[in-house]
Amino acid sequence: MDAKSTTPLQCGHFYHIYNRGINGCTIFGSNYHFRYFLFLYKKYISPIASTYSWCLLHNHFHFLVFFQEADEIVLDHKTPAHYLSQQFSNFFNAYAKYYNKVSQRHGSLFERPFKRKLVDNEDYLKKLMIYIHTNPVHHRQAVHPHAYRWSSYNEVIKKNSAFVDYISILKYFEDIENFIFVHRQKSEILILENW
With respect to residue 2, please indicate whether it lies within any of the assigned structural domains: no
Amino acid at 41: Y
Per the structure, the complete domain to which residue 17 belongs is given by: 8-194
What is the separation of C-alpha 156 from the centre of its chain, rounded to a whole number of angstroms? 14
CATH number at residue 78: 3.30.70.1290
pLDDT (tens digit, 0 to 9) for every residue of the chain, 195 residues total? 454 556 789 999 999 999 999 999 999 999 999 999 999 999 999 999 999 999 999 999 999 999 999 887 765 656 777 889 999 999 999 999 999 999 999 999 999 999 999 999 998 999 999 999 999 998 999 989 999 999 999 999 998 888 898 899 999 998 999 999 999 887 665 554 543
Burial (Cβ within 10 Å: 0-12, 13-18, ≥19) of residue 19: buried
Q: In this structure, is the dihedral angle defined by the CA atoms of residues 142, 154, 49 and 34, taken in order, positive or negative?
A: negative
What is the number of domains present in the chain? 1
| Nearest to 62, CA basis, from 145, 3, 1, 122 | 145
With respect to residue 39, please indicate whether it lies within any of the assigned structural domains: yes
Say how far apart CA 174 and CA 1 lie, in whole Å.
39
